[in-house]
Amino acid sequence: MTPDRFPLPRPRDGAVGRTVTAVLACATLLVVLALWVTAGGVTELGTDGTGLVTVARLTGLTASDLLLLQVLAMARVPWVERAWGQDRLARIHRLLGFTSCWLMTAHVVLVVAGYAASTDTGVLAQSADLVVRYPGMLLAAAGTALLVLVVALSVRAARRRARYENWHLLHLYAYLGVGLALPHQLWNGAHFVTSRAATAYWWTLWGCAAAALLAFRVGRPLWLSRRHRITVDEVRHEASDVYSVYLSGRRLDGLSARPGQFLTWRLRTGRGWSRAHPFSLSEAPRKDRLRFTFRAAGDDGARLAGAVPGTAVLIEGPFGTLTEGRRRGERVLLMAAGIGITPMRALLEGMRYVDGELTLIYRARSADELVLRDEIDGIAAERGAQVIYLPGPPPTGRSSWLTAELAERHADHEALTRLVPELAARDVFLCGPPPWMAAARAALRTAGVPARQVHDERFGW
């Protein structure tokens, strides 16, 4: 170990936290099943309407449990977020949402079919009777409709057609849907009202979900924003549609933000300010300054780009696990494409390394789109990092992380091994559009880089 060698951080992959939270989540499902069994769920099974109703109760209770777990997954609980990362939690949230929606649909169908069979009533007449006569069912029907709408809009094809701002606003109606759909258990749920254990369990789970939302989605952001009093210092035009926002505040080191992380920002710029936008820090955080760089798109992009000095900023975070804490060795490769350069530029500045240990590959569609290039060149010259710029259009007909020109001459993994010496011994940090990252991961795998040394966060909505 040379005197100028930086001590490496101990790798933190969050395995313990992920195991604990996964076990707790599975335990809630087992509790639901146990409560259903002890309430006579198994003995009521049969081929008549009673059997359909008891299965409906199980699907409904499971759907309710998954709905509340879905809320908890995106409640921004700090230790959960540190263990899983926002990208994984978002995928879990989406999976739980789709699963609970299908179970809720099955619950509605089975309840109507079961009661209709028991009373020898038509399905439509029985549906109307349940909604009108039973307490809370009209609210539950409205909540179910809202949740189904949100799920339909969350399908990938629908998300691609919608602007982020509109999708995000509509997605908030899911909370209203949950609030409307669950209370009918209190009035009609046979397993709820007849069992003290079930009552205690559901009130506890509802309370934890509500408390987590209020504490970490409302209380903590308000407290952080009040404590640090962050305001806009300057908005700087970086490229055709790319802007950097410089922010100042009090005791910003108290945020404990690290290079590679992101925060969600709300700039008090008038209508639409309440919508949060997740942007990575584009420079290593300082005691008196933060900066994020973004590509302007839609009405919100123009609004953010037009922020004036002194504009108040509300924040949530920091979030993300694309940090040096995941590093396992001394040599590092940073790979960025497009606006994905922002966390890579922060890591280039803030990581611990010595001359020759770090290489940055920066991919863009043209030389004009290599944003922050002067800063990157300055940091590389000062710290002894190697920077490889790859501007140019992508190849047609196949997915590749390379430019069209390089892709004609080299396979994806061959280009990597030619550009980066000792590739298999490096930790690799990736950030860019999802298709580009998928191509880069495939090339790294073919080139022999172990999966545990490839670090990324896949952002998408």
Q: What is the pLDDT of residue 110?
A: 82
User: For the chain, what is the domain count?
Assistant: 3
Examine the pLDDT at 372 and tell me if it is beyond 90: yes
Determine, yes or no, domain membership for 335. yes
Does 245 lie in the same domain as 218?
no
CATH number at residue 274: 2.40.30.10
Among residues 283, 300, 319, the one where a domain terminates is: 319
Q: What is the pLDDT of residue 130?
A: 64
Q: What is the pLDDT of residue 123?
A: 65
Q: Would you say the pTM of this structure is higher than 0.85?
A: no
Judged by DSSP in three states, 236 sits in strand
Q: Are 332 and 359 in contact (CB under 8 A)?
A: yes
Does 425 lie in the same domain as 365?
yes
Among residues 277, 294, 319, the one where a domain terminates is: 319
45 vs 235, residue with greater confidence: 235
Q: Are 255 and 228 in contact (CB under 8 A)?
A: yes
Tell me how far apart the alpha carbons of residues 75 and 97 are, in angstroms, rounded to a whole number.
14
pLDDT digits (tens, 9 = 90+) for 58-73: 888 898 899 889 889 8
Among residues 160, 189, 222, the one where a domain terminates is: 222
Does 175 lie in the same domain as 40?
yes
Mean pLDDT, to the nearest integer, of 206-213?
90
Q: How confident is the model at residue 18 (pLDDT cuts 50, 70, 90)?
A: confident
Closest by Cα among 302, 308, 235 to 268: 308
Range of the domain at 180: 15-222
Does 338 lie in the same domain as 263?
no
Cα atoms in the 13 Å half-sphere on the side-chain side of 297: 10
Examine the pLDDT at 461 and tell me if it is beyond 50: no
Q: Are 133 and 116 in contact (CB under 8 A)?
A: no
pLDDT digits (tens, 9 = 90+) for 312-366: 999 988 988 899 988 888 999 999 999 999 999 999 999 999 888 999 999 999 9
Q: What is the pLDDT of residue 289?
A: 93
Mean pLDDT, the chain, rounded, equals 83
End-to-end CA distance of the chain: 44
Does 163 lie in the same domain as 35?
yes
Examine the pLDDT at 8 and tell me if it is beyond 60: no
Q: What is the pLDDT of residue 305?
A: 85
Q: How confident is the model at residue 10 (pLDDT cuts 50, 70, 90)?
A: low
Q: What is the pLDDT of residue 199?
A: 82
Does 440 lie in the same domain as 356?
yes
Tell me how far apart the alpha carbons of residues 461 and 444 are, in angstroms, rounded to a whole number.
26
Q: What is the pLDDT of residue 2?
A: 37
Q: What is the pLDDT of residue 116?
A: 75
Q: What is the pLDDT of residue 139?
A: 67
Q: What is the pLDDT of residue 83?
A: 83
Does 120 lie in the same domain as 59?
yes
Q: Are 262 and 285 in contact (CB under 8 A)?
A: no
Mean pLDDT, to the nearest integer, of 398-421?
92
Does 172 lie in the same domain as 47?
yes
324 vs 299, residue with greater confidence: 324
Q: How confident is the model at residue 79 (pLDDT cuts 50, 70, 90)?
A: confident
Q: Long-range contacts made by residues 377-383, C-beta under 8 angstroms, separation at least 24?
A: 379/345, 379/348, 379/349, 380/348, 383/348, 383/353, 383/355, 383/358
pLDDT digits (tens, 9 = 90+) for 173-193: 666 666 666 667 666 655 565
348 vs 101, residue with greater confidence: 348
Does 377 lie in the same domain as 328?
yes
**Per-residue DSSP letter, 44:** T
pLDDT digits (tens, 9 = 90+) for 148-177: 777 666 666 555 555 555 556 666 666 666
Q: What is the pLDDT of residue 27?
A: 95
Q: What is the pLDDT of residue 1?
A: 34
pLDDT digits (tens, 9 = 90+) for 106-149: 888 887 777 777 776 776 776 666 666 666 666 677 777 777 77
Does 177 lie in the same domain as 247?
no
Does 345 lie in the same domain as 312?
no
Q: Which residues pair with 315 in a beta bridge?
A: 265
Q: Are 212 and 72 in contact (CB under 8 A)?
A: yes
